[in-house]
Structures are given as structure tokens and as C-alpha cells.
Amino acid sequence: MIRLRRAMAHQRVAWLAACVLSWLLCLPFFGPYAALIGLVLAGVAFNGALLGRLRSPSPYPERQVLVWALATALLLGGGAWVVRWQALPVAYGEFAPNTHPEHVRWVLEWLDGQAYGALFGPSYGQWYWPPLVAGAGLLAGGASAALREWSARLAASRDPFDERLRTADAPEPVTRTEKVFLSYSRKDTALARRLVARLEGRVGDVWVDWHGIKPSAQWLEELSEAIRSSDALVVLISPDTLRSPYCWDECKQAIDLGKRVLPVIVSPELAQGTTAALRAAEWDELTAYQYLGMSTPEAFEAGIDAIAAFVSREHDWVAFHTRLGLQAHAWKVNGGSDGLLLRPHEVRIAESWRRNTPVDPDFKGELTPLQEDFIAASGAAMRRRARRGRVGAGAVLGALLALGSLVVSVQTDTAEDRRLALSRALAAASGAAPYPGMQRSLLLSAAAYETAGTNAARSRMAERLLRFNHVARVLATGVDDVGGAAFSRDGSTFAFTLSDPERTQVWDTDRWRPRTTVPGALPKKGSWPCDSPELSLSSGWFTCQDGREERLAQAGWDPGEGKYVAAVSEDGRHALVGMEGEEREREPGWVERVRAEVWDVDERRKLGDVDTEQLRDRGLYIGTAIDDSRLAALVTDPVHGMWLAASKYGVVPSSDPVTPLRGIDNGTKIFHSPDGSKAVTLTEDGTLLAWDTRSGGRLAAETPVPGLAPHQLFNRTALSPDRRTLAVAQGSEVRLLNTTDGSQHGRVRLSGRGDALTFSHNGRRLAVTHTVFNKGEETAQGARGRLVTEIFDVPGGRRTALLRSPHQATLAQVAGIAFTADGRGLFIGETRKSRILEWDVRRQRVARTFTSREVGFLDRMVLSPDGRRLAAVDRQQVVHLWDTASGAHTALPKPAEGALAFTPDSKRLLTAGQEGIRRWRMSDHREETPPLAVGSGRYVRSLRITPDGRHAVLVSADRDTLWEGSVGGDVRLWDLDRQEPVGPVLAKTTGSAAPELTPDGSRAVFAAQGRIVSVAVSPRTWHEELCALTTRPLGRDEWRAVAPQQRYPSVCGRQD
């Protein structure tokens, strides 16, 4: 504490402390950089101290602190109001373009960002934010002023007595300040005058009765005041003095006041026997003081020096003694008024003065009881004031902190509610009717997720991605129309013409990369665009060769009277011919042709009729639906050799075959490649999109794998821990496929038909089970056999172990298979034997068996990630748990069927049943939450939990179609905390396929017929893919239309 006081006595140190404190108080409102305004406040408070000018303490420090605190509160509160008034329109995107200069707008945006990003940022847009800032200013200003006053007082209360004691040789004072009271008998006046004359210039002032008493003054009071104001009393001792009662009274007052007294013997007859004479005159108290002899002329001269030395000895201490005595007397006379007590810094000086009382017994200076009481009363008053100040400051600080805490708590909840509501509003706007256009819809969906990860926002992102799943690339934006657009005949190139300036871009369609841009336009003849030409570039121009209209013109073909060409196939070989008079209005706005014809253009012959009912069975219609604006469905069978598609133009020819495109906007123009695998669309908001309809996919990507045919009833696939290799058992071999490109990089041959598979934790071992049947041993239930497990080294492809089950069973099946973490053990659940075997892989023998009399046929088995528990569900829908260390068995009280899975931390087990997904706590085997309902009549085929433990990827199927081989299930993402699905159905599996999650939990991978499917199941991945489709920022007008009076954000890292 002493070190702190010494440091704070330097006002620059106090200023640094005030700067730090003011910065900390401004930090919750302005952020780390704008809060530097606190340094300015502290600098103004300490203005002169920073320039080296010491500030004296104010006589009314509380008033100074209060005034400065109020001034700072008004300054900061007013500034906060101005910033909020000017910056919020900028933040909301409401400012007019020329309202502020660019640099002013930049400053406002910076201030807005600092305030909004601070602790009280959620309250920044509210009316009460400036008063809160004013409260911070009140504390900052009051603290700075208090530190300033404290520092000034500490500097002023520098202990002069300790410093004096540390100084070896004190300098001689320039001006003498000592005050001496001279007491003498009137008969010694001549001597007294002579003494005063000689002391002139040697001491500061000598009070004698001929100088200090006025004729009208009260003599005794004036005399007492003179004694109190003197530093020392010099009494001239002579026989006349000893007989004078007035002289003794003066000496007595000086002694009672603790003054230093110097008896000077001026009478030769008293030079010897002075003590006896004093006692005889009853001046006993004076005998304790040293005498000074001046009874002879020689002694007189020496005595002058002695008197001067006596008076100047310990003068600092003596002068303060005099001052303190006067103050104590005034305090006593006025009834002990608190207004006359010492101020805090004076109390500290007085206490130091008392501690440093000279200890020389000849000094004879001491504190009086009145001075002690005065110092004690001053100290008590100082402590009371300090206590009241601390209590008051604490009350104000506590009130402000309580208010701030309340505001933070309320604003956090309120801000969270506002964010959630805004997120839902943005999500709703992204799919509102009328359709807002692709780019705006994507940007609003992304903004909804960036605002708050509500289920509505995540679901909307998944819906947008599902709609634009096969979009390979955005070719251009802001396109009003394309002058011409076409694929080359082999589909490897696509070209389109843009205007202003007129130019044609050519793209390679393999990976949709731009090839070149040249001036000029693609040719356009009649009402049909040349949309399937061979493009040749010559002198910067494109020519259209062998287009459909040229073939008809060259053939000179006319379908006949009352007939007209409705459309021509992309290869130009077939035409759809409409029949005049064969039309009817099915409903308002829907004109339907009753019958049409398909003609072979080259042979000029009719191939057959197209009847309305025939097409209706295929989901198509003949005619133009004015209100239908999107490609609805595409056929899978040719009609008289001609592929037809339903579109906004009715039934039109199409390529063979064309996968349905999702995500087509109202008014979309669409161009198909000749083979139908690619397409380009121009949406109504001017976005030119390239589609890959047979592979790829932003939400669900499909990688073709020729010959891939996973089992339809049993999941005979396994995914490596790094999710790069998919092992698929097909017959008596296991194919190792690359999940990225579908290539096969390995093959394992089995001694039987593969069943269950699993990889070791490091991915270097693969275990495959199959059954070896006994020839000729068939029962009514089926063939008997023995379960065999082969373990292979994945990199080398060689078998390293063969595990033969010690028991035989009819229709031996596997409920589950899992390696231990170190790969030395393997758990195999045998369905018919109702047990789980733990195998020692190296010794190729059974190490332990896990079973119970309560266990029925096992359907599923899983091992916890930490390897400490086994979980299995049997045909009686009982969930069994075993401790792998002790073998202890536990059965859960609620039924389950189908899938089950441990959370990544192994602390919980999720089981699927008719009532939904149950979550069990493994510490006490209790159910945590009510069942998560996945839908009435749904069976959960597969359950995988994401690495964060908060989401689950479920594959559920309708119970009525559960055992229909090709029918799989719906892949959906579920939020386990909120107990609700996230987004729509993301993909559909075939058969018993069970998706496996990638290590980061962003995608789920599973095998399907002829392809590997990778589905994005992470909302963060959805957001990344969604933003990859955007090509511009969300406009301020677009934002205000959906979210007025809300902060204009940066969406997908872009801002207008």
C-alpha cells in the first residue's frame, strides 16, 4: 500500500491508471479501438500534469469529482447518441448514395462495427444505449477526477519529516520564519530591548509587549494568542521576573501548550543557585529546562548565538506544532466543528509529524492532549468520509453494474430472440411466392443461416441445394437474354451469345471451363434457334451446320393440310405433328390436343399416333399449359422411337434419356446437350446455369461405378475409417472402391459368399464373414453351416487370419462385427446362437463369449468407440449391454428394433423403436429425453451420429415395404437436441444400404446400384455449397425489403 501511494503521488502514473480504467469502462460499449476515447477523457482530466505542472489538491474534492463525472457523462452520452443517429442508417443500408462523403461513411461504418461488436452491441440499436454509455462516462469521468485528486493530495502530503531526517545537511533558509515570544519583567525592559535588537535578522520574529498589544485590546487574550502563535518562549530570569505573576503565567501557558521554553539568566545574583531560586518562587516546572546564562557582558554576546540556535533547532517540526496548536484551538473554541478538522492529506502529515517527534530529552517539545484529540478526531472524520465515499461509490458502481448485468442478460435473450426471428423471416422469404429468383433466394437462405442456425434456415439451405443439386457452374449473371445458345453435336462444347457488347463465349462442358470469348453472335434463323449445331470458328464467327430447320427446308416436307409441325427432335429425325381441330380446353388457360402424330422426317412417313390418355399414363399431356412454368417430368420410354418431355410448351422432343432437372425458375429457358447428360438454363433473374444431370451434385453427389450391385436385403458394405475406400461384398469377392471417383483399387477373393464386413481402426485390416454350408445337411428351416471370418491385409490383399466358429447353425447370420481399438480382437455377433464372440485375432481362437439366458436371436450389434461396451438388440426387441472388461450384462427397460448407435464419446446409446429414437445414459442406464419421433409407421434402418454428438443421420423406411428388395429408405439429418428433422429428405438409398459418415461428419457415403452416393449432411457444408452458387452480394434494397430496421450484413463474404 505504501508503494502504491508513492507511485500514485506521481501524477503521470495516476494518469496512466486513469487511462487504463477509462479504457476498460468504455470497452464494453465501443470495442477495443474506439474505447481509446477513454485516454482522451483521462488526458483532459490530467491536463496540466502531463505538461509537468503539478496540480494542487482541491479544497472540495467531492465536488470536483461529481462535476467532472457529470460533464463526462453528458459528453459521452451525447456522442453516443450522435453516433447512433448517424451510423444506424448506414448499418441498415438506408442511407442515400450522396448523403455522406465516402470518408465520413467509412468512419460511421467503422464506429458502427466497433459498437455493434462490443459487449453491449445487442443494445446498440435500442434507445437506452446512449444512457448506458453516459453511465460508463459517469464512472470514467468520476474515476479520472478521483485519481487526479488523490494523486494531487498524495503529492501535497509528501512527508517532510522523513525527508528531513534523510537529509544530511539541510540548506540554510533564505527567509527566517521562526516566531519567539519574549517574557520579561518591566524592570528589565532595557535589557529586553537590547536583546530584541540583537536578535533581529537572526530569527524570524520576536513578540514583546511593546509590539503586540494595542491599548484597546484585551490584554490577556492577546497575550495568550501571541503565545499560541509562537514557536518558542524565551524568558529573562531575574529576581523581578520571579516575583512577577504575569511572567509565570506566560511560562505556564507555554509549558501547557507544549512549547519549547528557554530560561535566560540575566541577573548575576541568580547565576549560582538558579534551581533553588526557581523552586523558592514556586517555578518548579521550569527547573526541567536547560538554562542559558547571560548575566555578564561576555556571556551576553555568546547568548545571542545560543538563542538563535535554540529557536532554529528542529524548526520544521516546531512550526508544524505551532500551526497544529492554532488549528486545534480554533476547533475547540468552535465546539469541535468537523469543518475545522484536518483534511485527509493533512491528517497523514500530522501522523507523520507525531511519529517523528524529536527524541532528544533536552529538546522539550511535545504534543498536547488537545493536539492528540484534534489529530484523532481528524483521522476519525477522514475515515468516516472515506467510508461514506466508498459506500456511495460502491452503491453507484453496484447500481450501474447491476443495471449493466441486467441489460446484458436481457439484451442477450432479446438479441437471441431477434436473431432467431430474423433467421426464420429470411428463410421464409427465400422460398416465398412469387419465387424471388435464384440468386436472391440463395443469398437469403445463406443470410438466414449466418444470422442464426435455426432449423428453418438449415432446412431452407437444404431445399435450395436440393433444387440446384446438379448445377455444375454459374456461367453468367445479369443476362437479359441470350442471342443464341447451343451445344456442339458431340456435347463437348457449349456456346452462347451475350449483348452489350455482342460477344460469344465458348465453354468446355467436361468440367465447365471457359475456352474462349470472341466478338460476334451465333446465327439465328426463323423462330427456331440453332440449338444443336456443330460449331466451327472462322474469322471470329460461328456457323451453324446441319441444323434442324435446314433439314426440313432441304427436304421440302409438309405434313399435310390441317397439320402443323409442333416440334422437331434434337437430332432432326423426328417431328411431332399437331392436328388442327383436335384440340379442347381442358380448364381455363389449358388448351389440350386430343391427338398428335409422330413422323419420321427423313422417310416422310407417319410412325404412329400420340393419344392423350397414353401420355397421361406417363404423366405427360399434349398442349400448352399457360400457367405451368417449369419442366415437370421427363419420359423414360420412347413413343414411336421419339423421346418426349413435358414442359411449359406441352409435349416436346427430348434426348435419350434426360434426367429431370430440379430448380427451374419461372420463365426459364433450357438447352439440353444431345445425349441429355448436360443442360444450360437461363433463369428469370438473369442467371445462366450449367447443369450436370447424371453425376456430381452439391447436396447428393453420385459417382458412377460400373457393375456395382450391393445386396438388396443385407448391408454387405463397409467404409474405411478415412472414408476413402468402400468395400463391397459381391458374391465371392470384395471390391475396394475409391469413394471419390469410383475407381477400383483393390479386390479380395473369398472362400464363400461375403456377408458382413468391417475395417480395423487404422484401416489396414478388413474382416469379412461368410457361411460354409454342410453339404446334404438341410432342415426345414434351411441349410446348416458354420460361420467363417477371413481377415485380410488391405494394402497387400492377402489373408492374414481365418476364424472358424466353434458351433454350427441353421441359416447362420451375423448381427454385427467390430474390431477392438488395437486391432488384436474382433467381436462377432452370431444371430442364431444369440451370442457375441470375442476373437483373439493373432491366436485365431475365441477369447470370450458374451451371452445371457435372456438373449434371443440377435439382429444388431455395435461396439462403443472406447471399446468398453457392447450393445445388441434381439428379435424380442430387448436391448442388451455388456461390459467388455467384466462381462457384466444389463438389459434396458424399453423395447427397440432396428438400428442402434453409440455417441462418439461413448457416454450415450441411441436405440430405434416403434416409438422413435431413445437416448440412454450409459452411466446409470437411464433414458435422458422423450423418444424422438421419426414418423408413424417408419422403421429406422440405419443410425449414424455426427462427431459433435448433436446430429444424427437416419435412414428410415416404410414398414409395409421394408422387405421389398430394391426399396431402401429416406436419408435425413436430425437435430438430437431439438428433436426435429433438419431439412427435407436428402437422398434415397436402395436395399439395405447404410450410410457412413466422413471423419469430419460433413458427408454420408453409401453404395447404390451402379454408383456411390455422397450426401452432404452438415449445415456448414450446405452453406459453403450454397455460397459457391452465388455470384453477387445481397443488395441493400433486397435486404430492406425483407428485414427493415435490421443491420445490413455481409452474406457469403460479400457486401454491396
Domain boundaries along the sequence of the chain: 2-156, 174-367, 483-545, 557-658
Which of 673, 657, 692 lies closest to 570 in space, CA to CA? 673
Q: In 892-994, which ranges are E strands?
A: 900-902, 908-913, 916-921, 926-927, 938-945, 951-958, 967-975, 980-990
**What's the pTM value of the predicted model, to 2 decimals?**
0.65
C-alpha of 261 from chain center: 78
**Other CB atoms within 10 Å distance of the CB of residue 957:** 23
Helix, strand, coil content of the chain in percent (nearest 5): 35, 30, 35
Residue with cell 470472341: 518
DSSP labels, 815-832: EEEEE-TTSSEEEEEETT
CA distance 740 to 1016: 14
CA distance 123 to 404: 11
Q: Of the segments 170-184, 379-393, 533-547, 767-781, which one has the largest average pLDDT value?
A: 379-393
Q: Which pLDDT tens digit goes with each residue over 478-490?
A: 787 776 777 776 7
Which of 846, 880, 841 lies closest to 862 in space, CA to CA? 880
| φ, ψ (nearest 5 deg) of residue 215 | -60, -30
Q: How sure is the predictor about 175, in pLDDT bands with cuts at 50, 70 and 90?
A: low
Q: Which pLDDT tens digit goes with each residue over 924-943?
A: 999 988 888 888 778 888 89
Which of 945, 782, 972, 928 lies closest to 864 in space, CA to CA? 945
Residue with cell 443461416: 449
Query: Do the beta carbons of residue 691 and residue 678 sit within 8 Å?
Result: yes
Alpha carbons within 13 angstroms on the beta-carbon side of residue 389 total: 16
**Residue predicted with more confidence, 167 or 741:** 741
Q: Which pLDDT tens digit goes with each residue over 846-882?
A: 999 998 877 778 888 999 999 999 999 988 889 999 9
Kindly state the helix (H) or strand (E) to which residue 51 belongs, with its residue range. none
DSSP labels, 183-221: E--GGGHHHHHHHHHHHBTTBSEEE-HHHH--TTS-HHH
Measured CA distances, 400 to 64, 146, 715 (Å): 21, 18, 64
CA distance 520 to 543: 11
Measured CA distances, 534 to 491, 549, 1046 (Å): 9, 14, 52
Q: Which pLDDT tens digit goes with each residue over 802-845?
A: 998 887 765 567 889 999 999 999 999 988 778 899 999 999 99
Contacts of 104 (CB under 8 A, 6+ apart): none
Per-residue pLDDT at 702: 85
Contacts of 426 (CB under 8 A, 6+ apart): 444, 445, 447, 448, 451, 457, 1042, 1043
Per-residue pLDDT at 964: 62
Contacts of 689 (CB under 8 A, 6+ apart): 438, 468, 471, 473, 474, 475, 663, 680, 681, 682, 683
Measured CA distances, 940 to 832, 876, 910, 956 (Å): 22, 17, 12, 4
Name the amino acid, one letter, at 162: D
Q: Which pLDDT tens digit goes with each residue over 302-320?
A: 888 888 888 888 888 888 8
| Res. 559: pLDDT tops 60 | yes
CA distance 329 to 326: 5
User: Quick check: bond before 501 cis, omega within 30?
Assistant: yes
Contacts of 362 (CB under 8 A, 6+ apart): 290
Alpha carbons within 13 angstroms on the beta-carbon side of residue 1020 total: 7
Measured CA distances, 607 to 183, 583, 589, 642 (Å): 151, 21, 30, 9
CA distance 242 to 237: 7
Which of 644, 524, 526, 679 lies closest to 574 in space, CA to CA? 644
CA distance 690 to 688: 7
CA distance 611 to 606: 14
Per-residue pLDDT at 119: 73
Per-residue pLDDT at 190: 87
For the chain, the straight-line distance linking the first and the last C-alpha, in angstroms and rounded, comes to 57
C-alpha of 483 from chain center: 48
Domain 174-367 indexed as CATH 3.40.50.10140: yes
Kindly state the helix (H) or strand (E) to which residue 479 belongs, with its residue range. none
Per-residue pLDDT at 632: 41
DSSP labels, 629-641: -S--EE-SS-BTT
Q: 927-930: which pairs have CB atoms within 8 A and are 24 or more residues apart?
A: 927/894, 929/979, 930/979
Q: Which pLDDT tens digit goes with each residue over 590-627?
A: 566 677 888 887 777 888 888 777 776 666 666 543 33
At residue 259's C-alpha, the angle toward residues 255 and 260, to 5°, is: 100
At residue 924's C-alpha, the angle toward residues 923 and 926, to 5°, is: 120
Query: Do the beta carbons of residue 311 and residue 203 sit within 8 Å?
Result: yes
Residue range 269-277: average pLDDT?
A: 84
Q: What is the 3-state secondary structure (H, E, C) of 873-917?
A: EECCCCEEEEECCCCCEEECCCCCCCCEEECCCCCEEEEEECCEE
| Res. 525: pLDDT tops 50 | no
Q: Which pLDDT tens digit goes with each residue over 744-786?
A: 988 888 888 888 899 999 999 999 998 877 665 555 455 677 8
> Widest CA span of the chain, in angstroms?
170
Query: Do the beta carbons of residue 973 and residue 982 sit within 8 Å?
Result: yes
- Which bin fits 51, alpha (ψ -120 to 50), beta or left (φ > 0)? alpha
Kindly state the helix (H) or strand (E) to which residue 653 belongs, with its residue range. strand 650-653
**Residue predicted with more confidence, 225 or 487:** 225
**Other CB atoms within 10 Å distance of the CB of residue 561:** 6
SS3 label, residue 571: coil
At residue 500's C-alpha, the angle toward residues 498 and 501, to 5°, is: 85
- Work out whether the CA dihedral 892, 896, 901, 903 comes out positive or negative: negative
CA distance 120 to 123: 6
Q: Which of 100-109, 168-177, 320-329, 759-768 has the lowest mean pLDDT?
A: 168-177
Q: Looking at the DSSP assignment, which residues form a beta bridge with residue 623?
A: 592
Q: How sure is the predictor about 565, in pLDDT bands with cuts at 50, 70 and 90?
A: confident
What grid cell was written down for 96?
A: 442515400
Per-residue pLDDT at 7: 60
What grid cell was written down for 976?
A: 438430437
| Res. 894: pLDDT tops 50 | yes
What grid cell was written down for 388?
A: 461514506
SS3 label, residue 870: strand
CA distance 1050 to 463: 22
**Residue predicted with more confidence, 958 or 484:** 958
**Residue predicted with more confidence, 366 or 975:** 975
Per-residue pLDDT at 652: 59
CA distance 621 to 651: 6
Task: State percent of the chain over pLDDT 70.
Answer: 78
What grid cell was written down for 529?
A: 434457334
**Other CB atoms within 10 Å distance of the CB of residue 107:** 16
Contacts of 151 (CB under 8 A, 6+ apart): 8, 9, 10, 11, 13, 14, 49
Pairing outcome for strands 869-874 and 858-863 = antiparallel
- Which bin fits 581, alpha (ψ -120 to 50), beta or left (φ > 0)? left
Overall size of the chain counted in residues? 1056
Query: Do the beta carbons of residue 945 and residue 904 sit within 8 Å?
Result: yes
**Residue predicted with more confidence, 238 or 658:** 238
Query: Do the beta carbons of residue 69 and residue 53 sit within 8 Å?
Result: no
